[in-house]
Amino acid sequence: MNSPRNMKVGYILKMFPRLSETFILNEILRFDGLLSLLRGSVSYVANAESWGRISHSVQRQPHLLNLEPEAVGKVFMKWAQVGKSGLELFLQAASISAAVRNRGIGHVHAHFASSATVVAMLVHEIAGVSFSFTAHAKDIYQQDHDDILLETALERAAFVVTVTDFNVRHLAQRFPASAAKIRRIYNGVPVEKISVSSQAFTDAQLILAVGRLIEKKGFNYLIEACRYLRDRNRKFVCMIIGTGDQEDELRRLIGRLDLSDTVQLVGPQSQGAVAEAIARSSMMVLPCVVAKDGDRDALPTVLLEAMAAGRPVVSTTLEGVDEIVDSGRTGFLIPQHDNAGLAQAIDRLLTDSALRTEMGQAARRKAEKIFSLRENVAQLARLFGVAAATKGEPARELLPMAFR
């Protein structure tokens, strides 16, 4: 069997890096100490500035395996009947497969059951290496996700990772033929690098929320809860970090409720800035909900980061989230859409410093035990080694999925 420290693994990602997917960045950075890692990208869209905003710790940009758009365009003229999307994925896979062979890569891994996983399947077929992927949330639950892709990927992959026990049960029920190869590995956070600051207990009025400004994050319910707190004459500041389609709507809600002095939408921030905000906060609040299109959170990284920093968290009783938060011990879980219940939970933490301390300490202990990036990535590395050692031979014909 290939030793995890000797083998090479290629990551195939639809877009990289992305501010909303720092869990992938954390995973890749951790693998620098475990594997000789090739970093690949199906569609690299971030510029140097946005890369720098994501992480101060990255000293070099990832090696990218892309074809120039001009080269792709020339082939489109000859193969227009195949379809632009399918041909792009095939050409990406062909390019990556050449690098896989030249660099001695033994396994490829994709995040999300999307075009990245299609490319990983094609690389498996062309280059004869094993492949796997991690399924998260929108690629499982959103109404417009591709059931055929998900079923095919589950069937073809050496193994499949997903990030909650609830996801495992859901996928196993839908695709029982592939149930045995589904593994739960939580997204990890670098707990050993996150210190527990006491600063929050001298600045006890900061309520922090971090995430994309989209429906499933439920930030409108947090803003409504802030109105309850204001009406109770609580002194606080609510800072919401992130950007998204609902920004204008949320700003209008803040204005309508006359909360401009207490609720701040501060836009996207770097990992370092988020960490500093967590250190100044009393709690992390994420009132996530199931969106109308079925999209939902599975394992929000910001909750893990806050717990690792010794902060209690307030969220909702969404399946998956309840694997993070022990309600009444590491924070509070309230029903979705419950403004009053959310306000009551926040109010308890605002007004009881002993409870904040107790819950924050329990949160840190749980993060150390279950959400350690080092331990969880080590589990993934072992799976990579087994998959690479038992790879199948290259197929004679390419998957029809190449031309979807």
For residue range 92-106, what is the model confidence (pLDDT) as tens digits? 777 788 778 877 888
Answer with the residue of higher pLDDT: 288 or 93. Answer: 288
Q: Is the pLDDT of residue 91 over 80?
A: no
Q: Is the pLDDT of residue 163 over 60?
A: yes
Answer with the residue of higher pLDDT: 381 or 6. Answer: 381
Q: Is the pLDDT of residue 59 over 70?
A: no
Q: Where does the pLDDT of residue 199 fall: very low under 50, low under 70, confident under 90, or very high at 90 and above? A: low
State the chain's mean pLDDT as an integer: 81
Whole-prediction pTM value? 0.81
Helices 219-231 and 339-351, interaxial angle, to 10°? 60
Q: Where does the pLDDT of residue 26 fall: very low under 50, low under 70, confident under 90, or very high at 90 and above? A: confident
* Spatial separation of the C-alpha atoms in residues 314 and 322, rounded to whole Å: 11
Q: Look at residue 74 in the predicted model and tell me its pLDDT.
A: 46
Q: Look at residue 34 in the predicted model and tell me its pLDDT.
A: 53
Residue 283 three-state SS: strand
In the chain, pLDDT over 90 holds for what percent of residues?
A: 52
Q: List all residues 6 or more positions away from 189 whose beta carbon is below 8 Å from its beta carbon.
A: 26, 301, 304, 305, 308, 367, 371, 372, 373
Q: What is the pLDDT of residues 206-258, one digit of tens each?
A: 999 999 999 999 999 999 999 999 999 999 999 999 999 999 999 999 999 99
Q: Look at residue 38 in the predicted model and tell me its pLDDT.
A: 47
Q: Where does the pLDDT of residue 85 fall: very low under 50, low under 70, confident under 90, or very high at 90 and above? A: low
Query: At 367, phi and psi to the nearest 5?
Result: -60, -45
Q: Which domains does the chain have, with CATH numbers?
A: 8-188+373-403 (3.40.50.2000), 191-370 (3.40.50.2000)
